[in-house]
Structure 1
Amino acid sequence: MDKLTLNNIYMNYHSLKNSTKALEDISFTIEKGEFLSIVGPSGCGKTTLLNIIAGLIKPSSGEIYIDNEKITSFSHKMGYMFQKDQLFEWLNIWNNILIGIKIQRKSINAYKTKLETLLKNYGLWDFRYHYPQELSGGMRQKVALIRTLALDPEVLLLDEPFSSLDYQTRLNISDEIFKIIKNEGKTAIMVTHDISEAVSMSNRIIVLSKRPARIKKIFNIVFKEHHDSPLKSREDPEFRIYFNHIWKELNY
């Protein structure tokens, strides 16, 4: 993938009595390998926007292109990681990560080596025959990511993927998942309420307004010193400056 482009996205919800505007004139481009976060007030439509990008919801108007190809339905170039890990408790880890391959009726043998490598590289190989209830919350999220990566999507869509974890686990697993995404060369779009999370992980942050959501401001996150992990980014003197600017933007 070279780039993903959103052009003038509007979303209105209709009922028998009225119409509610959810998104208003959303346009931006994300380049290959970029990590983009979307923040905004609760209920402003962040997840709706992510679902539109995924092709799960059709916008009222506007277009989305990936490599100049218009997206009209769910694209296999997209991988979606939800708030909860959505693992099947009755399947072991190996069979959980095979779900997408089986659904698309692809050859398991064609993906076996890749999946074994992912599990070995990211500390899950010894747990491949364990069941989800035997793993910590952080490890379950890693399994969910490996399952998303199994079909080699070009863009990862992350909907508050760490929100169900306790603070310490959240810090550690966000660091691990960031490194996995970078190591695998993926482009990522993450929705989050956590400003610190967004600043520590992102190249850019889009701040949305209250509903109807429009783009209020876009922040380019550039630290003078390059950091290879979100935990190190949080220690940078510029981290708090970015945090404060985004906090003010969200509250005014």
Structure 2
Amino acid sequence: MDKLEIKNIYMNYHSLKKETEAIKNISFNVKEGEFLSIVGPSGCGKSTLLNIIAGLLEPSNGKIFINGKNIKNSPPQIGYMFQKDNLFQWLTVWENVILGLKIQNKITTERTKKIEQLLHNYNLWDFKDHYPRELSGGMRQRVSLIRTLAINPDVLILDEPFSALDYQTRLNISDEVFTIIRNENKTTIMVTHDISEAISMSNRIIVLSKRPSTIKNNLNIKFDDKFMSPLERREAPNFRIYFNMLWKELNS
């Protein structure tokens, strides 16, 4: 079943001097529970496309459907995880995690229990009264993700979520984030410049062209064991095959 439908999206930017075509006729679907990554050259419009899907930008043309409903008429719950964790330094882990629900006035006993369960499941319960400055970078990213999941989003969007972390932490936290997303069965779209990251975490990768962006490739990623972690995928024989294929696609 398709959770998300992107149909014939165009995006043009206007200035006094000219019109710039950023995105040109992009269409694809994302299935329930699928993890899709989007890669492409710098400045090709990847983040712009994410913002359109999230309803933060209105496209020049085209439509977005989530659960069969046009987001223009029926705004969905979108969980957006940015490059930086954006945790509020003066709030505890618990206060940060429930903030979205508090703003939406949706704090209930059931939702509170769900958050408690998430914190327990992902080794953050003992840190619920700590402040962000007392946490490692990887723990902060986990808190940020759980805060995003707390609102029970229809679609989870990750915009370069690990780029602010050092390489070793990126590898570890990508494993942890992948596990959380898989366990919660969230439909996810991630933008990344890191080909290895995309291959190790995704069910499918869309390759965008230079501006104006079009879809150059729509590649299914398959490993022998579908339960492999991102770190384990990096050691799989076909990992290098996918890497070389995407590298050539991006540099052609």
TM-score, scaled to structure 1: 0.97
CA contact (8 A) 1:102 1:108 kept: no
> After superposition, what is the alpha-carbon deviation per residue over 1:122-156, rounded to whole angstroms, capped at 9, x for unaligned?
00000000000111111100000000000111210
The 2-side partners of 1:85 and 1:157 are apart by: 13
Shift of 1:72: 1.1
Q: Mean Cα displacement is larger for which, 104-113 or 132-141?
A: 104-113
Counterparts in 2 of 1:50-129, with a 5 A limit? Answer: 50-72=50-72, 75-129=75-129
> After superposition, what is the alpha-carbon deviation per residue over 1:48-83, rounded to whole angstroms, capped at 9, x for unaligned?
000000001000000001121101178343211111
The 2-side partners of 1:223 and 1:60 are apart by: 38
TM-score, scaled to structure 2: 0.97
Partner in structure 2 of residue 205 of structure 1: 205
Shift of 1:17: 1.3
CA contact (8 A) 2:199 2:239 kept: yes
Q: Aligned residues, how many?
A: 252
- Secondary structure at the aligned position of 1:205 is classed as strand
CA contact (8 A) 1:200 1:234 kept: yes
The 2-side partners of 1:227 and 1:156 are apart by: 20
The 2-side partners of 1:167 and 1:75 are apart by: 36
- Secondary structure at the aligned position of 2:138 is classed as helix
Shift of 1:110: 4.0
* 2:70 is aligned with 1:35: no
- Secondary structure at the aligned position of 1:25 is classed as strand
RMSD: 1.3
Identical amino acids, percent of aligned pairs = 66
CA contact (8 A) 1:5 1:66 kept: yes
> After superposition, what is the alpha-carbon deviation per residue over 1:3-35, rounded to whole angstroms, capped at 9, x for unaligned?
200000000011111111110110000000100
* Structure 1 unaligned regions, length at least 5: none
Partner in structure 1 of residue 159 of structure 2: 159
- Secondary structure at the aligned position of 1:80 is classed as strand
- Secondary structure at the aligned position of 1:118 is classed as helix
Shift of 1:111: 1.7
* Structure 2 unaligned regions, length at least 5: none
Q: Which runs of 4+ in 1 moved over 6 A?
A: none
The 2-side partners of 1:5 and 1:77 are apart by: 15
Counterparts in 2 of 1:219-230, with a 5 A limit? Answer: 219-230=219-230
- Secondary structure at the aligned position of 1:240 is classed as helix
| C-alpha spacing 1:147/1:74, structure 2 compared with 1 (3 Å) | farther
